[in-house]
Amino acid sequence: MKSSLLIIIFLSCAHLEKENKNIQMEKFSIEIWDFNYSLAFTCLYTLSNDSLTITRISGIKNEKDSFLFRYSLKKDEQKKISKYLSSQNFDSLKNNYETPLIDDGDRKRIKIRIGDSALKTIDISNYYQKNLGELFDYINQIIPIPIQFKIKYVNPKQP
């Protein structure tokens, strides 16, 4: 009886180990360009399977860009983000969301590539798009980004 129970446990563990090896994280890359025209700079968030970097790109001639933050993702963070991204259908999003009555304000460009899919580029101009808001919130929650560098994207319907 004990030996058959041990065999069942061994086979179950071997099956789970094989299943886990077959589950591979899809490669992904996300660039979030957060434009701040009034202060003449852009924050570039670059997220990949292994890291997040934040760079301040100057809009002033002869002023150097500056590196703000780098974080190496832990395995569990990589899996959570990969799983989240795989559950989303970014291809269904439009390429442009804008509120045409506002010329300046919150402007972002998002470039997303998951696995072997084509690069999806989405421009946002003073418009809240729920799926992208959830993506930014998810990145802000999963990765310990210092508060001053968190991705800012306000849902106007929330208090």
Q: Are 122 and 92 in contact (CB under 8 A)?
A: no
Q: What is the DSSP letter of 59?
A: -
In a 3-state reduction of DSSP, which class is residue 35?
strand
- pTM as predicted: 0.81
- Is residue 6 scored above 90 in pLDDT? no
Return the pLDDT at 103. 78
- Mean of the pLDDT values across residues 59-65? 93
Per DSSP (E only), the strands in the chain are 28-36, 41-48, 51-58, 66-72, 96-98, 107-114, 120-125
Which of the four pLDDT bands, split at 50, 70 and 90, describes residue 24?
low
What is the CA 8 to chain-centroid distance, rounded?
41
Assign 16 a pLDDT band (cuts: 50, 70, 90): very low
Residue 4 has what pLDDT?
Answer: 54
The answer to whether 96 touches 69, Cβ cutoff 8 Å, is no
Helices (H), the chain: 2-22, 75-86, 130-142
Q: CA–CA separation, 3 vs 48, rounded Å?
A: 46
